[in-house]
Structure 1
Amino acid sequence: MKKKGIIVAAFFGFILLTSTVMISLPGLMTPIDTETTITGTPADNFPDAQRAQFCGSGDAKSTSYVREFTIPTVCTNPLAIVTDFEGNVWFAQTNTGNLAKFDPLTETFTEYENPTWPPNGRSMMWGIDAAPDGSIWYTDETFDSIWKFTPHNEKYQRLTYPSQGDALPQKLKFEGSQVIVNDFTGNKITFLDPTQAEQKDFNYLSIPSPVDDSVTGDFAMDAENNLWYTNWLFQQSGVLVKFDQDGYRETVVDTGEELLPLFDHIEVLALPETMQTPNGVVAGEDGKIWLVDTSSSYFFSFDPDDETFTQYVTSDPPLSSYGNSSGIIKTPISRPYWVETNDMGQIIFNEQTANRMAVMDPKSETLVEYFIPSMNPNWGDCGDMQNCGLAQVFDFTVDGDKIWFTEWVENNIGVVDTSVGLPLDIELESNIMTLQAGESK
């Protein structure tokens, strides 16, 4: 495996803001049994002592590159986010079960109440996408469901996710005429036909994991219609899987057999030992597969032609992101979480415990990191330190030169405007800077 450093340009739009938190795979934490003041708002799902931690610690903020917008309803815990074909921003609220829309032109929110959501119900909703017909689809971890929301009649429809035993439908994407979902703990990738949404039962195809007792992570489709995804054991590395779905379907048609061995159309490649939690995956326009590792500060490219991985590293999280008032944090890490690409072929990912959005240009091998203005001190070792903590940016979506994101514990959404010019130019004699693992310059 090759290791390469990249030039890092870090921009302090307002105050140096970033993070290192003590979690990497957040779920729904059970609130402790303490005094709860009833307010008639979603904040009632948390005891008084935890409301600052989960419901927000301050007002929305802005920098030269980042703007934040406060959601009208308090303590919604926004998570999955996507833009539709008209440029509206949609996001799921884990603490209300509702969808919300933000109009960037009028800068107004519309929140749509889900009448079938159980009182006090909470669910991590990791995946969301806009369908060609304008409907919004998203996943629901707690109730093992996929939801379809139709904006013109404001109708919610719950679709039971096909599962046997433990299941956790996570990321969701429309690819052509199908919906693809990874079942994180159910250990499979599922292909669904969205035209059957009105039917009681879905026809679906599930790809089981080639690694026993592992989890199935994010997925991406390359230019040749191959599906790439990860199977891994927590902090024990895993494999990158390539599924030739066209070859499989052609074989089904040629043989007339509906049930054929899937593994005849699967290629399995071992991940580097330094990649222990490969959450996000995306296919770049150069044909490479990009992966991010949530157990470190590393991200990787994989070249299918020569089957080699190249390892990159982010800059170190600044002290303000984690505080370290106790002195116990010796090696802070940025924890890249999900990864996408934009129209220019750049690689974009969120650095969970550095409170940053990152944009990497594979051609120039430069990395620009945008600091998120809001910080919640309850998610860092902040002590008496001011301007410290995390907003917990757990999801984002790319729309042209804008990167929209949610702040799970600050009750905000935000946007990075990558079209804003940067205050300096970088010129080097060589476009490659070699660094040791974990080193930054």
Structure 2
Amino acid sequence: MWGITVGPDGMIWFTDATENKIRTLDPETGEFNEFLQLEDDSLPWDLKFDNEGTLWFTEFGRSFLTSVQINDVNSLTEYRIPSNISSPSYFEFDKDGNIWLIESGPGILTKFDTYTNEFTQFILPSDGVGSETVNPIGLAIDNDGNIWYSQFRTSLIGKLNPNTNEITEYATGTLTAGTYQIISDNAGNIWTTQFRADRLIKISPQTNSISEFKIPTDNTFTQTLTSDSNGNIWFVERNENKIGFFNSQIPEPTNIIFDSNRIVVSRPQSTTTQFNLSSEIDVFFLARGNERVTGILDGITVEFTPSHIDPSAKTIVSYSVQAARNLPTGITHLTIGAATMDLSYYTGSFVEVEISTGLTDPIFLIGTSLCVLSAIIMLRKSGF
């Protein structure tokens, strides 16, 4: 069972991937019923009702997005997803009624227009190792309409701006921790799990910040989660057969305020900026990159002053970012923040870094030399 929801009839609806069925549970009587028998290897995954009461679900095994009226099983309509082996998993409705879904197989984010029945696909970045994709799995939509997705094989979380079609990826947590289901709470925060690292991840799009919380039990293999009306998080510890609860109303022990979430670095020089920090616990400072599958900084060095602070301290922390000579120019993203010594807690912010050529950059020097040489030639031709 991967998908579960409450229907307009008050019944609990869920997918039975093992038996290729859609089933219901009557919460008053406890009675289970079969609603729909699908074809072999359909592997129904996620399911949801739209505003008109139509039931939609993804067929992971047969690459279909499917709809059906719950009072007429013969109304079942399957929409073939364009990719050959799409393996559609989770999906969400946006404010316009479009369906956004994850194609886990080819690594594609797909929009389905429920009025025109047309698919629009967005190919996600590769993992930096050959041509393999990162197996996206979870999907959520924030209050601004941005589409967020999680990476099954990595520690990265991605965001698609549907207005510009720009995709940005951010590093979280422990290297190849494996982010899984991803949700949006009633305040617009994004939450996901790291099932290989036993962590809950919170992203606040409004402040561009991220926090990570270690689940007390090890090896829980936590994959699925939900939020209640108060914004608290409930999650399933698959290996422990437990339901976990996280009180998100308790203030975090560390607070970071950045002067700016964007800096410009001229390679190979460094740029120094700062953030204000107050903390009730002992923390040290940590930077992460997002250019490779591991989340390791690649071609960028970050140094902090001071390197850590003691409990109950308030201070201004300076950090310098240096880019290697061979680092490509353009935009990259870092996660800058503070962590406890045992890494059970981390909080920080996403920082956009623009890499440009510097005065001592080989490309700049070559270009300058060519300009000077051209000027000399022109002067000589003019008789000077």
TM over 0.5: yes
Aligned-partner SS, 2:90? strand
CA contact (8 A) 1:161 1:169 kept: no
Q: Distance in 1 between matches of 2:42 and 2:126?
A: 27
Letter in 2 for 1:364: T
Q: Distance in 2 between matches of 1:335 and 1:143?
A: 27
Letter in 1 for 2:43: L
The CA deviation at 1:435 is: 5.2
Partner residue, 1:267: 120
Partner residue, 2:47: 172
Q: Distance in 1 between matches of 2:7 and 2:158?
A: 30
Residues 1:230 and 1:372: Cα distance change in structure 2 (over 3 Å): same
Residues 1:395 and 1:307: Cα distance change in structure 2 (over 3 Å): same
CA contact (8 A) 2:104 2:137 kept: no
CA contact (8 A) 1:364 1:431 kept: no
2:223 corresponds to 1:394: yes
Instruction: Find 2:257's aligned residue among 427, 430, 441.
Output: 427
Alignment map for 1:230-309 (pairs within 5 Å): 230-233=102-105, 237-245=106-114, 247-248=115-116, 262=117, 265-274=118-127, 275-309=133-167
Aligned-partner SS, 2:259? coil
Partner deviation per Cα, 1:156-194 (whole Å, 9 max, x = no partner): 10123433x421011122222122211111111111222
Partner residue, 1:209: 81
Aligned-partner SS, 1:427? strand
Q: Distance in 2 between matches of 1:232 and 1:372?
A: 26
Between the two proteins, the alignment pairs up a number of residues equal to: 264
Partner deviation per Cα, 1:93-136 (whole Å, 9 max, x = no partner): xxxxxxxxxxxxxxxxxxxxxxxxxxxxxxxx111111233211
Residues 1:393 and 1:436: Cα distance change in structure 2 (over 3 Å): closer
Aligned-partner SS, 2:255? coil
Q: Distance in 2 between matches of 1:166 and 1:133?
A: 28
List runs of 5+ in structure 1 lacking aligned partners. 1-124, 249-261, 317-331, 376-389
CA contact (8 A) 2:89 2:137 kept: yes
Letter in 1 for 2:137: N
Q: Distance in 1 between matches of 2:8 and 2:85?
A: 36
Q: Distance in 1 between matches of 2:143 and 2:28?
A: 35
CA contact (8 A) 1:183 1:216 kept: yes
Partner residue, 1:185: 61
The CA deviation at 1:217 is: 2.1
CA contact (8 A) 2:15 2:45 kept: yes
2:93 corresponds to 1:221: yes
Residues 1:242 and 1:415: Cα distance change in structure 2 (over 3 Å): same
Instruction: Find 1:436's aligned residue among 286, 289, 312.
Output: 289
Letter in 1 for 2:112: F
CA contact (8 A) 2:171 2:289 kept: no
Q: Distance in 2 between matches of 1:172 and 1:370?
A: 29
Instruction: Find 1:150's aligned residue among 6, 26, 32.
Output: 26
Q: Give the TM-score normalised by structure 2.
A: 0.65
Identical residues among aligned pairs (%): 27
Alignment map for 1:67-86 (pairs within 5 Å): none
Q: Give the TM-score normalised by structure 1.
A: 0.57
Alignment map for 1:342-361 (pairs within 5 Å): 342-361=185-204
Q: Distance in 2 between matches of 1:269 and 1:406?
A: 31
Letter in 1 for 2:201: A
Q: Distance in 2 between matches of 1:142 and 1:167?
A: 9
Between structures 1 and 2, the one with greater strand share: 2
Aligned-partner SS, 2:71? helix
Residues 1:343 and 1:242: Cα distance change in structure 2 (over 3 Å): same
The CA deviation at 1:417 is: 0.9
Q: Distance in 1 between matches of 2:74 and 2:124?
A: 33
Aligned-partner SS, 1:354? coil
Alignment map for 1:94-133 (pairs within 5 Å): 125-133=1-9
The CA deviation at 1:432 is: 4.7
Q: Distance in 2 between matches of 1:436 and 1:128?
A: 35
Q: Distance in 1 between matches of 2:38 and 2:241?
A: 32
Instruction: Find 2:206's aligned residue among 355, 363, 381.
Output: 363
Alignment map for 1:40-55 (pairs within 5 Å): none
Aligned-partner SS, 1:305? coil
Q: Distance in 1 between matches of 2:227 and 2:56?
A: 19
Q: Distance in 2 between matches of 1:147 and 1:154?
A: 13
List runs of 5+ in structure 2 lacking aligned partners. 128-132, 264-286, 297-334, 337-384
How large is the RMSD of aligned CA atoms in angstroms? 1.8
Letter in 2 for 1:293: Q
Letter in 2 for 1:147: R
Alignment map for 1:24-39 (pairs within 5 Å): none
Q: Which has the larger radius of gyration?
A: 2
Residues 1:363 and 1:147: Cα distance change in structure 2 (over 3 Å): same
Which of the pair has the greater relative contact order for Cα pairs under 8 Å at 6+ separation? 1
Q: Distance in 1 between matches of 2:223 and 2:74?
A: 30
Partner residue, 1:324: none
